[in-house]
Amino acid sequence: MSKFEMKEYEEKYCREWKHAFEADPKDGADKFYINVAYPYPSGAMHVGHGRTYIAPDVIARYRRMQGRHVLFPMAFHVTGSPVIGISKRIARGDEKTIKLYRDLYRVPQDVLNRFTEPTEIVKYFSDEYERVMSSCGLSIDWRRRFTTVYPQYSKFIEWQYKHLYEQNRVRKGAHPVKFCPQCDNPVGDHDLLEGEKAEIVKYTLVMFTWGEYKVPCATLRPETTYGVTNLWVNPNVTYKKVLLDGEKWILSPEAAHKLSLQEHEVKEEGEIKGSELIDQKMNHHMCGSVPVLPAEFVDPDMATGIVMSVPAHAPFDYIALRDLQKQGKYTDITPIALITVPGFGQFPAKDAVERSGIADQNDPGMETLTQEVYSAEFSSGKMFPQYGGKPVKIAREEYAELMREKYGSIIMYDFDNHNVMCRCGSRVFVKILKDQWFLQYSDEAWKKQIHEQLNRVELVPPEVRTEFERTIDWLKDWACSRRIGLGTRMPFDKNWLVEPLSDSTIYMAFYTIAHKLLQIEPEKLTPEVFDYVYRGEGSPDNLPIPKETAEDLRKEFLYWYPYDFRFSAKDLISNHLTFQLFHHKALFPENLQPKGMVVFGMGLLEGAKMSSSKGNVFLLEDAVRDLGADTVRMFLVGSAEPWQDFDWRKELVTATKKQIERFHTTVTEGNDASGSCDIDKWLISRLQERVKKTDEALQLFQTRQALQEAYFGIDSDLKWYRRRLPEGVTGSAVLKEVNSVWIRLLAPFIPFTCQNLWEFTGNSGNIAFAQWPTADESKVDEPVELAEELLIRTTEDIESIIKLIEIEKASSITLFVAPEWKYGLFRKIANAEDRNNVIGLIMKDEEMKKRGKEATDATKQITTLIHRLPPDLVGLIEKNDVSEAKVFESAVGFLEREYGLKVKIVKSDESSHPKARQALPFKPAILIE
């Protein structure tokens, strides 16, 4: 088979299969609905995407051949903002982006010019996706293809959110987000140039008063306010006087700006130098009047730029105060302790500093030291009795609340240390987004339902279950509305778009009738229509669509739903895969909930992580063109199980191609064979086991294991088969039977080649619908397999001996077959309760007693042998009465031909040769001389 032919039949079948997998409800058929997370078509498909869709296709094809009525649909997710960014960058002439699309994805220049319009990008790539997916032989019903911005889909989303809203699962809330003022939009971590690990920290502002002014000190530890001895202000900073929500405040300029983004009205009124604040007295209800001390370490860009000092419990404060006191200043200030911590003395901060030997506040160890005291006090600290005596853990929240209620404290958000930059180059701040909509995943009752539901979902591989459980527990409310991007407007608040992950939770239900919905004018798809179709609520009469249409939609939905399995990459467990469980539960009854999920691993390219942005990808289209779709398929599902990471290595893929070619050659050649041979029975017997194992593996989605059996297993059986054929014979008629089974067994993996061979071997029709082979137990012949196993093991022994001796000296092989009494021993030991202590048992036998040492030696050897043989085999040996002598006698011709030596078979008890005594059941003594 030349490369040319492989390509040729692949293209031919691709055309023929265009409509082959369109699935309509069929009465009496056992449906199987499988689906995959749809792609976001913003770039070309690479081989990593390939596996995501090929693995489910293999399963779809397997089930179809089993007689299941399979639905495998596909659509495109185009909601969200990435393509908007891409088109902007292309419009702006961004080198990197243009290079990626022009050179790596090979978008023609005229098309690229149109990419300044975001929808053009997804339009172009979704067509490309369909083309490439088809060329891979994916058995998809393409009539159901849609994108998430089709008006009919929007109607579906509106219907869904109307329900969620009515169920009170979508609520308005305010949340702090990372926000870029220049883009005027929240930014996710992937939008950041810098500071990706930055976290939003929630400070409590402790409001000191200074005359008519309020002086906010930001703290993470409001419970320590009783221990404040002074404030710290940076004398070199010029602070602002502002009117914040109508009150006079003093704070750093940066802080003023930050708070203006956090739902506060900030009006600038004037300035005041830090130095002017030094030595002023500030008041707070909880600590009284305290002085302001100078501190250059105070960062105006950190929270409010004014800090309260608790030298008893904060190492930083302690050292700073100590340094000033060393200069003879502020010697009247003494730390005020208010927390006891096991392992520390009266002043934990002082202890920690002295223990660590840190000399000054610029020491890099200060950070760790602070953390140490902070953690110790948080986990095991207790407030002094006069401050309530509660554990810090609890007191902190209580004080924070008290201070917000009584002492004018408010919350301020800021990043922890990091400088955060947007991709646009502008600095990112924390902004409170008000009126944002949230899905109430934090709702305990809802969570409980999902936990219960999860127990009924089949998960592959089973190990991911704990991760799902964790995710459900960990989920908080999810902001489900966006200002910009493509998508559907919230039906109850048209100012917001439904967030991209939030509009992709129940679209598997849309697939079931997508092709029909797309024929209906969107405005007719009212919530009442969907209520009837998807929930069976109301009546099909008086809907905007004809009654028959409504009933037909309802029927088809119920025919396919619930889906049987959903496939997705493992990184979606913590969002999409779990979200969809929540939404299914909210909208559909118990009998329509998801039944199973299969989670994928990631893809590597030559050992390195695949990444489009780094250009480290291999395009699926190129792979199919260069190596053939079947090669790509077989490699992607055969080199690792779906949930394991796979590594696309050119060398291995090329080897896969050769394997397919070998398969093709073997089948083609075997087709002409006729007649029959002794070994036929063995081959057919083995084949049943291969079929069974392949099937078992596929049932568990183990595509790799299935291929091991279906391809390599049968291949290696055939190897032994050919070796055992009489001289000059290349095969027998039995190969036709093997071929027929083999072709069908591999059809889910390499459908093109199998279709070609299917026709070559005289069949017609699409092999995708041919009958899946099943094992025929009546063809399993244990004695024959056992005899062959004995021969295989013996040849291996002979070969290892030949390898070790000087072969030119040898002229004959003698096989000494174990005597009957050793077989008796074998059975006795195999059946013994305790195989390790059988000597006593054996020696009760008078005959064995007479044999003496010979018997004890044999017992030891046989015990070891039994431990070393596969348990199944031990059972078979014991059960079947195979005459070793006969097996070897009939194989003398074969053995003599194999080794070019004279072969003699001798019963060991009829020989006086010392070697003969070594003979064991299933392990003849071998003498080569």
Min separation Cβ 241 and RNA, Å: 33
Asked whether position 915 contacts RNA by CB under 7 A, the answer is yes
Question: Contacts with RNA in 722-741 (CB under 7 A)?
Answer: 722-723
- Parallel, antiparallel or unpaired: strands 382-383 and 421-422: unpaired
Output the six-digit token pair for 661: 């070619």
> Cα(60)–Cα(40) distance, rounded to whole angstroms?
22
In total, the chain counts a number of residues equal to 929
Residues 850-869 that bind RNA (CB under 7 A): 867-869
- Which segment (247-255, 336-344, 449-457, 655-663) binds RNA by CB under 7 A? 655-663
658 binds RNA (CB under 7 A): yes
- Which stretches within 700-781 are classed as H helix? 703-707, 714-724, 734-746, 751-760
- Residue 697 Cβ vs RNA, minimum distance, rounded to whole Å: 10
How far is Cα 801 from Cα 198, in angstroms, rounded to an integer? 67
How remote is the C-alpha of 529 from its chain's centroid?
Answer: 36
Report if residue 652 touches RNA, rule: CB under 7 A: yes
Contacting RNA within 574-613 (CB under 7 A): 574-576, 602, 609
> Could you tell me which residues are beta bridge partners of residue 203?
412
Question: Pairing mode, if any, of strands 238-244 and 266-273?
Answer: antiparallel
Tell me the per-residue interface mask from 682 to 721 with RNA, x by CB under 7 A, - otherwise.
----------------------xx--x---x---x--x--
Are residues 748 and 68 in contact, defined by beta-carbon separation less than 8 angstroms? no
Cβ closest to RNA, residue 405 vs residue 473 = 473
Q: Is the peptide bond before 181 cis (omega within 30 degrees of 0)?
A: no
Name which of residues 42 to 61 contact RNA (CB under 7 A).
Answer: 42
CB of 540 to RNA, least distance (A): 36
Tell me how far, at minimum, the Cβ of 552 lies from RNA, in Å. 32
Query: Given the complex with RNA, which of 287 and 714 has the nearer CB atom?
Result: 714
Smallest gap from residue 451 Cβ to RNA (A):
15
Stretch that binds RNA, among 129-137, 209-217, 654-662, 852-860 (CB under 7 A): 654-662
Dmax over CA atoms of the chain, in Å, equals 118
Q: Which of 225, 659, 703, 753 binds RNA (CB under 7 A)?
A: 659
CB of 3 to RNA, least distance (A): 11
Chain positions 477 to 536 lying near RNA, rule: CB under 7 A, are 477-480, 482, 485, 499-501
Contact yes or no for 755/766 (Cβ under 8 A): yes
Question: Distance between CA 653 and CA 627 in Å, rounded?
Answer: 8
Cα atoms in the 13 Å half-sphere on the side-chain side of 774: 8
State the nearest-atom distance from the C-beta of 710 to RNA, in Å: 12
Nearest distance in Å: CB 459, RNA: 11
Answer yes or no whether residue 647 interacts with RNA by CB under 7 A: yes
Considering only residues 257 to 316 of the shown chain, the ones binding RNA according to CB under 7 A are none
**Strand 382-383 with 339-340, pairing:** antiparallel
Q: At what angle do helices 734-746 and 751-760 cross, to 10 degrees?
A: 150
Binding letters toward RNA, positions 186-225, x by CB under 7 A: xxxxxx----------------------------------
**Binders of RNA in range 662-681 (CB under 7 A):** 662
Instruction: Give the range of 5-13, 162-170, 239-247, 794-802 binding RNA by CB under 7 A.
Output: 794-802
For the chain, the 3-state helix, strand and coil shares in percent, each to the nearest 5, are 50, 20, 35
The answer to whether residue 143 forms part of the interface with RNA (CB under 7 A) is no
Subset of residues 68 to 97 that bind RNA, contact rule: CB under 7 A: 77, 79-82
Nearer to RNA, 12 or 719 (CB): 719
Residues facing residue 186 across a β-bridge: 179
Question: Tokens representing 788?
Answer: 């062959």
Amino acid, single-letter form, for residue 706: A
d(Cα 239, Cα 233) in Å, to the nearest integer? 9
- Site size toward RNA, by CB under 7 A: 90
Interacting residues of 62 by C-beta distance below 8 A, sequence separation 6+: 698, 748, 772
Residue of 126, 152, 154, 185 that binds RNA (CB under 7 A): 185
Structure-block tokens of residue 58: 């293999």
Q: How many CB atoms lie within 10 A of CB 327?
A: 8
With tokens 């086991």, the residue in question is 689
Among 570, 828, 907, 913, contact with RNA (rule: CB under 7 A): 570
Choices 185-193, 273-281, 313-321, 738-746; region in contact with RNA by CB under 7 A: 185-193
Kindly state whether residue 792 participates in binding RNA, applying the rule CB under 7 A: no
CB of 592 to RNA, least distance (A): 24
Q: Build a one-symbol-per-residue string for 747-786: x at contacts with RNA by CB under 7 A, - elsewhere.
A: ----------------------------------------
Residues between 609 and 638 that touch RNA (CB under 7 A)? 609
Which residue intervals of 458-575 are DSSP H helices? 465-474, 507-511, 514-517, 527-535, 547-560
Binding mask 437-476 for RNA (x = CB under 7 A): ----x---------------------xx-xx--x---xxx
Work out which of 204, 234, 639, 688 binds RNA, going by CB under 7 A. 639
Residue placing its CB nearer to RNA in the complex, 862 or 928: 928
- Judged by CB under 7 A, the stretch of 153-161, 209-217, 752-760, 789-797 that binds RNA is 789-797
39 CB contacts (<8 Å, ≥6 apart)?
A: 45, 49, 52, 76, 77, 129
Angle between helices 366-380 and 392-406 (to 10 degrees): 90
Lookup: tokens for 27:
């009465």
Listed residue (100, 6, 47) closest to 621, CA to CA: 47
**Contact in structure between 758 and 743 (CB atoms under 8 Å):** yes
Residues 867-886 that bind RNA (CB under 7 A): 867-873
CB of 365 to RNA, least distance (A): 17
| Footprint on residues 803-842 left by RNA (CB under 7 A) | 803-805, 836
Among positive and negative, which fits the CA dihedral 912, 915, 918, 924?
A: negative
Instruction: Show contacts with RNA in window 329-358 (CB under 7 A).
Output: none
Give the nearer residue to RNA in terms of CB position, either 74 or 553.
74
Specify the residue, 647 or 781, whose C-beta has the smaller distance to RNA. Answer: 647
Position 305, amino acid: G
